[in-house]
Amino acid sequence: DHTVWSNNFDTTMDEIFDIQDELVETIVSTIVGRVEADALQELTSNRPENLAAYDVVLQGLEYHRRSMTAGENARKAHELFNKAIEIDPNYARAHAWSACSLANTAGWYPQDFDDSWFENCIASVNRALEIDSNDPEAHRIMGAIKLSGGDFEVATYHHERAVELCPSDAYIRSRYASLLIYLGQPQRALEEIHRAMRIDPFCPDVLFEDEGMSYYWLGEFTNAIDSLRKVKVPTRNSLFYLACAFSKAEKAEKATETLKQAITSMDMTVERFINSQEYKEQENREELSKTLQAISL
């Protein structure tokens, strides 16, 4: 036996009825998330011999979750997901995650890929959706791939479908929030991020990254800095946006230090970073480029 809920709410009796819906949503979603996590942990710890593909996928996920911190993680994840597909060709999520990791790898090493990688991604996720049309991860990944291809309408459909299928998943909500940022809707993105944080107090680190990006585009640079500094393992986006936020907040020394860290640790030029940003409006990329180029190195 162990505890699945032990949080406190800071409120008064006068306010209790005003926030009752939020309380119910938070408690239910958190308990669901913790029970699901426990079930996954139990399955992971006691997996049978014949779940070889699942075992390989779990190995792939360990690298996949770190794919925004180093290109080699993305490459290794892609190799493992493809190995899982070889073991079980009907494993829907292996197909979906193979597509996601391929897109991440191509983002890190564009010189190693021709134009066919994008179509290969689409084919992999389509295969996942053929096997399971209600898999939220497959819809999320299709949304991300469509976003990278500039198909904003279809990207929105798949991200919204993923949220509809799994509303208590903070990571899925964070990716929907990321879409909203790239669509030029930082206020809506921020609302979605804070909703995800309420439903899951154990929120993934990526929510702080999205929160920081949202604050940046809202012109709240101090808040952006505070959020981006909460990212425990720095990512490409967290470092480059943190450098921009420092610059906008007139902290020139910090901006220079952070931009140097971003370029060195991520092995990425400013130009490559700008090209990786999938904004609907060119003005966003131009603003980022102008801000980063103005930082003295």
Look at residues 292, 160, 159 and name the one whose alpha carbon lies nearest to residue 237. Answer: 292
- Taking the CA atoms of the chain, what radius of gyration do you get in angstroms? 20
Task: State the sign of the Cα–Cα–Cα–Cα dihedral 99, 100, 105, 111.
Answer: positive
> Does 8 fall in a domain?
no
Separation between Cα atoms, residue 221 and residue 290, nearest integer Å: 16
273 neighbors 262 (Cβ within 8 angstroms): yes
Tell me which residue range forms the domain holding 132. 20-221
CATH of residue 114's domain is 1.25.40.10
Of 131, 143, 150, 91, give the one whose Cα is nearest residue 279. 150
Q: What is the pTM of this model?
A: 0.78
Structure tokens belonging to residue 99: 């597509």
In order along its 297 residues, the chain shows pLDDT tens digits of 444 444 555 556 556 555 566 656 555 555 544 444 444 444 343 343 438 999 999 999 999 988 888 889 999 999 999 999 999 999 999 999 999 999 999 988 888 888 899 899 999 999 999 999 999 999 999 999 999 889 999 999 999 999 999 988 888 999 999 999 999 999 999 999 999 998 877 777 889 999 999 999 999 999 999 999 999 989 999 999 999 999 999 999 999 999 999 999 998 999 999 999 999 999 999 999 999 999 987
| In-domain check, residue 32 | yes
189-219 b/e (C-beta count within 10 Å ≥ 16 → b): bbebbebbbbbbeebbebbbbbbbbbbbbee
In a domain, 91, yes or no: yes
Structural domains of the chain, count: 1
Residue of 266, 289, 269, 294 whose CA lies nearest to 279 = 289
In the chain, what is the greatest distance between 2 CA atoms, to the nearest angstrom? 62
On whether residue 232 sits in a domain, the answer given is: no
Residue 22 identity? E
